[in-house]
């Protein structure tokens, strides 16, 4: 694609990769923990992700947590937060409960149950009825799972020195291959350590925000009936909207062509960065990076991870991002209609504009490949 055929925003996407991030789909892999200065200069300051090996080998968790009896003995009486969804997807898009032509943002049913019962629900998850996921993004590792605190470090030392602070929250995640995270971003510096199983990330830098087709969706929540084992999805009261990414990067074969037509900036743009974080490895996920996550379990059927959220700096990079995301999709769509968008110019420019009401109807077929089969489907965050 010739440079003169690209919009200014497309030029930005490619320039950032050429100058800083790299032109492949891989991120830097560091074989040992970096010094705080090296980490700050080469990754935090340029807002660049990296994968680090041999950083948590000394954690007792890397051996102890592979034993289910150990987890049960340590936590059996502890009340924990269990997230329940029909398909393993929450904090994501699902069919609107009262309008089949629209979508909503669906959150999981959250129950407080004993760890022993919660773990059983995770291990016995079934995408035909109910999928359980142990997580709560409120510093749950140091509260709900406090009995395990000595199995991990209180912080990641080289990261804390680079950020100049201790983590604001430490979270524990226990799930299976059915749990999936839809594309989203966080206003935290994220140091993500996998203890058991694997996590598979797709990453896009903040500069490519327009490729996510962020739109406002009405908030809804799943409710699970213990009597019949069925889910219902109800809109929240009072009503509120949630801005969320519209793109599903893994559409089913029968929906792929429609998805590519509706979201050309994503499917025709630069490929996302891809990284698999294996047990014992740590991912540095910079603030405001968009990420989609799948996971592969260990031999027991579990994936276990601990992540450390550090406060991001609301500095000039944050100001630049806010300015960038305010630029309308029409800046790209006008280029498409005039033939300056390259491969994306073959698509109708109206589908690029996030405020176009007609795009809501186009979006209803996808969001996730599963929602074509189940109106109560959503994605787990």
Q: Is residue 378 domain-resident?
A: no
Query: What pLDDT is stored for residue 366 in this prediction?
Result: 39
Q: Which domain holds residue 99?
A: 3-372
For residue 273, is it within any domain? yes
Query: Residue 370: how many CB atoms within 10 A of its CB?
Result: 20
The answer, yes or no, to whether residue 104 has pLDDT greater than 60, is: yes
Give Cβ neighbours of residue 270 (< 8 Å, ≥ 6 apart). Answer: 13, 14, 17, 208
Indicate whether 182 pLDDT > 70. yes
The per-residue pLDDT for 333 is 59
pLDDT reading at 373 higher than 80: no
Q: Do the domain assignments include residue 379?
A: no
Listed range (46-55, 90-99, 148-157, 192-201) with the worst mean pLDDT: 90-99
- Which residues partner with 277 through β-bridges? 199
243 occurs within a structural domain: yes
Cα-trace Rg, the chain: 21
* CATH for 8: 2.60.120.10
| pLDDT of 341 higher than 50 | no
Q: Note the pLDDT of residue 226.
A: 86
pLDDT at 367 over 70: no
**Tens-digit pLDDT profile for residues 346-358:** 333 333 333 333 3
User: Residue range 127-147: average pLDDT?
Assistant: 93
pLDDT at residue number 229: 86
Whole-angstrom distance, CA of residue 194 vs CA of residue 269: 30
Q: What is the pLDDT of residues 13-44, one digit of tens each?
A: 999 999 999 999 999 999 999 999 999 999 99
Domain-embedded: residue 381: no
pLDDT at position 344, please?
A: 34
Specify the higher pLDDT residue, 362 or 120: 120
Query: Is position 292 within any domain?
Result: yes
Contacts of 74 (CB under 8 A, 6+ apart): 147, 148
| Average pLDDT over all residues of the chain | 87
Identify whether 264 is part of a domain. Answer: yes
Predicted local distance difference test score (pLDDT) of residue 155: 98
Q: What does the alpha-carbon distance between residue 259 and residue 160 come to, in Å, rounded to a whole number?
A: 41
- Which has more pLDDT, 201 or 374? 201
User: 343 pLDDT exceeds 70?
Assistant: no
Q: What is the count of structural domains for the chain?
A: 1
**Dist. CA 305–CA 203, nearest whole Å:** 18
% of the chain at pLDDT higher than 90: 79
pLDDT at 349: 33
List Cα–Cα distances, 242 to 92, 216, 310, in angstroms. 10, 5, 24
pLDDT digits over 259-305, tens only?
999 999 999 999 999 999 999 999 999 999 999 999 999 999 999 99
User: Residue 234: pLDDT above 50?
Assistant: yes
User: How many alpha carbons fall within 13 Å on the CB side of residue 11?
Assistant: 10
Residues 194-206: what's their mean pLDDT? 98
pLDDT at residue 4 is higher than 60: no
380 assigned to some structural domain? no
DSSP-assigned beta bridge partners for residue 114:
79
Q: 332 falls in which pLDDT band (50, 70, 90)?
A: confident
Confidence of residue 101 (pLDDT cuts 50, 70, 90): confident
């Amino acid at each position: 694609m010739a440079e003169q055929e690209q919009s200014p925003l497309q030029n930005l996407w490619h320039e950032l990769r050429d100058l800083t991030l790299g032109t492949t789909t891989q991120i830097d892999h560091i074989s040992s923990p970096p010094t705080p200065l090296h980490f700050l200069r080469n990754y935090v300051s340029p807002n660049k992700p990296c994968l680090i090996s041999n950083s948590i080998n000394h954690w007792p968790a890397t051996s102890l947590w592979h034993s289910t009896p150990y987890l049960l003995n340590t936590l059996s009486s502890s009340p924990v937060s269990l997230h329940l969804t029909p398909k393993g997807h929450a904090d994501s898009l699902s069919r609107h409960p009262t309008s089949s032509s629209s979508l909503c943002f669906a959150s999981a049913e959250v129950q407080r149950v004993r760890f022993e019962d919660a773990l059983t629900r995770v291990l016995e998850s079934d995408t035909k009825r109910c999928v359980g996921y142990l997580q709560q993004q409120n510093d749950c590792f140091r509260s709900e799972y406090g009995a395990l605190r000595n199995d991990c470090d209180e912080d990641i030392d080289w990261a804390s020195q680079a950020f100049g602070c201790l983590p604001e929250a430490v979270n524990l995640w226990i799930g299976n291959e059915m749990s999936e995270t839809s594309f989203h971003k966080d206003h935290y510096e994220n140091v993500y350590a996998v203890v058991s199983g694997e996590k598979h990330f797709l990453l896009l830098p903040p500069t490519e925000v327009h490729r996510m087709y962020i739109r406002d969706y009405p908030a809804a929540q799943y409710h699970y009936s213990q009597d019949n084992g069925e889910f219902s999805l109800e809109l929240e009261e009072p009503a509120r909207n949630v801005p969320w990414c519209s793109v599903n990067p893994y559409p089913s074969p029968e929906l792929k062509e429609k998805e590519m037509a509706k979201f050309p900036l994503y499917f025709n743009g630069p490929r996302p960065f891809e990284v698999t974080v294996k047990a014992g490895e740590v991912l540095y996920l910079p603030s405001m990076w968009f990420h989609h996550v799948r996971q592969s379990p260990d031999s027991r059927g579990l994936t276990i991870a601990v992540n450390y959220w550090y406060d991001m700096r609301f500095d000039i990079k944050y100001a630049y991002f806010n300015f960038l995301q305010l630029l309308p999709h029409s800046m790209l769509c006008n280029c498409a209609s005039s033939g300056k968008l390259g491969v994306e110019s073959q698509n109708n420019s109206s589908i690029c504009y996030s405020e176009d009401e007609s795009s809501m109807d186009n979006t209803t077929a996808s969001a996730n490949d599963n929602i074509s089969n189940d109106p109560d489907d959503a994605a787990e965050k």
